[in-house]
Chains A and B, each alone.
Chain A
Amino acid sequence: MASTLFRTIQIHPFSLYPTAICRRRNGVLYCTMKSTQTQTATQEKQQPPKVKVSQHTQSKTLDKITRDYEAIIGIETHVQLSTLTKAFCSCPYNYGSQPNTSICPICMGLPGALPVLNSKVIEFAVKLGLALNCKLSLNSKFDRKQYFYPDLPKGYQISQFDIPIATGGYIDLDLPLEFGGGHRKFGITRVHMEEDAGKLLHSGNGDYSQVDLNRAGVPLLEIVSEPDMRTGIEAAEYAAELQRVVRYLGVSNGNMQEGSLRCDVNVSIRPVGQSEFGTKVEIKNLNSFSSINRAIDFEISRQALLHTQGHDDQIVQETRLWEEGAQKTVTMRKKEGLADYRYFPEPDLPEVILTQEYVDGIRNSLPELPEMKRRRYEKMGLSMQDVLFLANDVNVAEYFDATISRGADIKLAANWIMGDIAAYMKNEKLSINEIKLMPEELVELIASIKGGTISGKIGKEILFELLAKGGTVKGLIEEKDLVQIVDPVEIGKMVDKVLSENPKQLEQYRGGKTKLQGFFAGQVMKISKGKANPVLLNKILLEKLNAKS
């Protein structure tokens, strides 16, 4: 499906240039469709979203329309914590287990069962709060959020309502270069602890649904952003950065496909210059960073079009679903009135009290966060592209750090990791922790090439073996006799041999076919088993070729 994208990048002081790409739209934006919840599994790569872009000059008016409006975007993210047990009971949690096998009276909400808080949940919440530069509430509490739904065994969710554990923070990120790059800083309103509900599955055409309570009671952290994002790509990158942070901290595996990272987006638009916010629309069912990007862009243009047609009263506060197949948002059944959750303090759980020592202890144990790494890599002189790649995955960054801490040349190390090593990992579907090439050996490899012991070409060849089987660089060089030949006399001998064995080509060369130099060079390489130093080889070859004429 060739869906092209419609996006406007607002003119910020730090972005490069505004780009508007128009999208061809078939049919009417607001045709009513049956609101079915489409469960689409989108492949999510562990990198910033790569979105297809193509220029369409279709409607310049559409272009103009969204330039007249400013989009206000806020995101609510739920992060499933990777604790060993659930939030309020000792049931283990493993994604993909047989349904209803990890249950107990507490998470099933059976009468008389009482919740007991998992200390790891507080630890992870404090870690994340600090990483997001929040102010921590040393005293906070849990509340009951009451509603009826089949996947909610107790009839209420234990959450934090008015006194969350962390408030008022921010997150720094860098936009990918293919979208213009640039630094952004988005506010975080709050972070709070809560529990997950079970899983509700709809049985196709049956008149019943099915519930799996394995997930009921799993700890979540809800992160609410300030409405600081202005475009789909900013929102998608915000989500990607949250994923990076939770993975760096080790509090969650942040997997959108598995549901350990879920995002709901709120979008509204207002005419440029207006201070009042427009009507806010919530979008759910976003399964990947690129869906976040596309759904928001779609919604912005949907709302903008309604505005300019004078139908802005048709923009109502509602929840819409993103349909990945149709690439559009559709209304969920509209609710009558707003939900009343009747919050009150959870009587079965005591106050959550943090001491300053506890918080400081955690603060001192925080790893280097993505933002800090990016700034450090930038200072080292790496290009933004390298920085973004290396800092994206915490394991890759650690590998890189291990390599340069042992003295390897920074730029060379970056190139190897981003080039051949990354390609190998992609082909074999391995993570950097699974390859057999140790950082120490990469250092040795780089040094060997730099020092002239082996040629660059040979280096690449043994890299492959090192990646697959391990071993040491020195060992391989010895074993396969790979030391580069730099003795001019020896090279000279080989050149003489090649020239004498190929008189016909030699004559052709002398006759003017100077391109044959490559042929001769190739032949010398062959008999030297690739060990001849290319620069020396060509120098000597040229001398000898031109000498006799």
Chain B
Amino acid sequence: MGSRALLMLTNFKFKSSFASSSSKPFYLVKSSPTIRKLSTKTRSSLQPPDVRRLAETARISLAPNEVEEFAPKIRQVIDWFGQLQAVDLDSVEPAFRADTEGDNLREDVPETFENKEALIASVPSYKEPYIKVPKVLNKE
């Protein structure tokens, strides 16, 4: 399964662009944040968080002073987890996921949810039969 290790190392394209050919345009994509960094023999340092960008992508509004205030605090949390970097992973295969259980599957049998009225009633803005939302034309 060395191929999986290779997968982890490369920078992924988020959208299926053209097949692996060296001459393709390389679309810079920030896939997932630093979590994917593979441990190397030398201890790598974790990037400091870009709090303003994080807040934007998570749609959490922060005042400028809050951004300044939170950055070191978030950094502290990350660094605390950063202790894991000390583990020697040279002889360990990267796992897909953290758990070890397998499938939890369900049969393809329809079941109607009983209390749909309650679901609809909990929608803040409902204009029968649709959920009413602000007009948005473009995806993020």
A-to-B contact residues, CB < 8 Å: 37, 72, 74, 76, 83-85, 90-92, 98-105, 108, 110, 116-120, 122, 139-141, 146-150, 161-163, 187, 189-190, 200-203, 206-213, 224, 226-227, 266, 275-277, 279-280, 317, 332-333, 335, 338-345, 347, 349-353
Give the interface size class of chain B. 35 or more
Complex: how many Å from CA A350 to CA B105? 9
User: Which A residues are CB-close (under 8 A) to B122?
Assistant: 110
Complex Cα distance, B35 from A347, in Å, reads: 15
B2 to chain A minimum Cβ distance, whole angstroms, is 14
- Total A-B Cβ pairs within 8 A: 188
Residues of chain B having any CB pair with chain A under 8 Å: 4, 7, 12, 14, 16-19, 21, 23-25, 27-33, 35, 57, 59, 96-99, 101-113, 116, 119-120, 122, 127, 129-140
Q: Please give, as numbers and ranges, the residues of chain B lying within 8 Å of A147 by CB-CB distance.
A: 139-140
By the criterion CB–CB under 8 Å, are A141 and B97 in contact?
yes
Residue in B7, B25, B103, B137 whose beta carbon sits within 8 Å of that of A279 in the complex: B25
List residues of chain A with CB within 8 A of the CB of B27.
317, 338
Cross-chain contact B105 with A84 (CB below 8 angstroms): no
Q: Which residues of B contact A99 (CB under 8 A)?
A: 129-130
How far apart are A114's CB and chain B's nearest CB, in angstroms? 10
Q: Are A190 and B31 in contact (CB under 8 A)?
A: no
Kindly report which residue of chain A lies nearest to residue B135, judged by CB atoms.
Answer: A209
Q: Is the interface of A mostly helix, strand, loop or mixed?
A: loop
The distance from the CB of A489 to the nearest CB of chain B, in whole angstroms, is: 69
A353 contacts B102, C-beta separation under 8 Å:
yes
CB <8 Å contact, A227 and B7: no
Residue of A at shortest CB range from B101? A350
Distance A101 CA – B119 CA, assembled complex (angstroms): 10
| Minimum CB–CB distance for A65 against chain B, Å | 22
Q: Which of A202, A207, A344 contacts B35 (CB 8 A)?
A: A344
B106–A119 touching, CB < 8 Å: yes
Q: Decide: A343 and B119 in contact? CB cutoff 8 A.
A: no
Contact between A187 and B25, CB atoms less than 8 A apart: no
In the complex, are the beta carbons of B103 and A104 less than 8 A apart? no
Q: Given the complex, which residues of A lie within 8 Å of B30, measured CB to CB? A: 340
* Given A84-B110, A209-B136, A74-B18 contact (CB < 8 Å): yes
- The 8 Å CB contact of B96, one of A100, A139, A150, is A139
When C-beta atoms are compared, the residue in chain B nearest to A124 turns out to be B108
- 28 intermolecular pairs with C-beta atoms under 8 Å apart: A83-B108, A85-B108, A90-B106, A91-B110, A91-B111, A98-B129, A99-B129, A105-B119, A118-B105, A118-B107, A119-B103, A119-B108, A139-B96, A161-B12, A161-B31, A162-B12, A202-B135, A208-B134, A276-B25, A277-B21, A280-B18, A340-B29, A340-B30, A342-B32, A344-B32, A345-B96, A350-B102, A350-B103
* Nearest-Cβ distance from residue A500 to partner chain B, whole angstroms: 76
In the bound complex, do residue A189 and residue B119 qualify as a contact, i.e. CB atoms below 8 Å apart?
Answer: no
Which of A98, A104, A211, A347 is B113 in contact with, Cβ under 8 Å? Answer: A104
**Docked CA distance A506–B106 (Å):** 84
Report the nearest A residue to B4, measured CB to CB: A163
Pick the contact of A332: B25, B32, B138 (CB < 8 A).
B138
CB distance from B92 to the nearest CB of A (A): 17
